[in-house]
Structure 1
Amino acid sequence: MSQDSNSAHVVLEIDLTLEEARRRASVMEALEADWNPLEAMRGEEEAYDLLYSGLDERQQEIYDMLVAAEVLPRRRPGHAAA
């Protein structure tokens, strides 16, 4: 910690490298031994497919506006709301 001689502000610097390493180790420890990241990603894709499927006309308009505004990512072919 240091103080800027030209102002009353105090410069505070914190190195979070060790804390980030601890956080990552805790996450890995919490995961089950048979956790499969590819399977988890496939499950997320399936959830998005369900979430954005079967939209009525107004919902589809809103979805399209959100995609155009880049609030939601554009789904790749075969994964767009229908």
Structure 2
Amino acid sequence: MAPHDAPEPARPAAPADLVDFSVDLTSHEVHRRAQVLAALGPDWDPIEALLGEDAAYDLLYGNLDAEQQRIHDELVAAGVLPARGGGRAAS
């Protein structure tokens, strides 16, 4: 077939040809949450997990020298790190 005889490419559907499509994922979300809680197990304690995260944060950002503290404070001011303990890293 010669290039001038080639068929025209298909055009996208006009907006009037669109079909309203919606999916309710509520039951899927409930199932997903149930699976997450089942994977965590009956011994999972959310308060203990949060306290562990706080302790890890204190270890990570504790005992900073002056330059490290300045950078930490800039990151807190920029919203990169959460403000804790009056905006200062743990000492």
Q: TM-score, normalised by structure 1?
A: 0.75
Aligned length, in residue pairs? 77
Q: 1-side partners of 2:78 and 2:20: how far apart?
A: 38
Give 2:58's aligned amino acid.
D
Q: 2:82 aligns with which of 65, 73, 76?
A: 73
Cα RMSD after superposing both structures: 2.3
CA-to-aligned-CA distance 1:46-75 (integer Å, 9 cap, x gap): 011111112222221111001111221110
Measure how far apart 1:32 and its partner are: 2.1
1:64 aligns with 2:73: yes
* Unpaired runs of at least 5, structure 2: 1-13
Normalising by structure 2, report the TM-score. 0.69
Asked if the contact 2:69–2:89 (Cα under 8 Å) also holds between the matched residues in 1, the reply is: no
Describe the superposition over 1:15-42 as per-residue Cα deviations: whole angstroms up to 9, x where unpaired: 2111111110001111122211111111
- Tell me which protein shows more strand as a share of its residues: 1
Higher relative contact order (CA 8 A, sep 6+): 2
**As a proportion of its length, which structure holds more helix?**
2
Q: 1:49 to 1:9 in 2, by over 3 A?
A: farther
- Spell out structure 1 runs of 4+ moving beyond 4 A: 8-11
| Matched residue, 1:28 | 37
Output the CA distance in 2 between the equivalents of 1:66 and 1:72: 6
Identity of aligned residues (%): 52
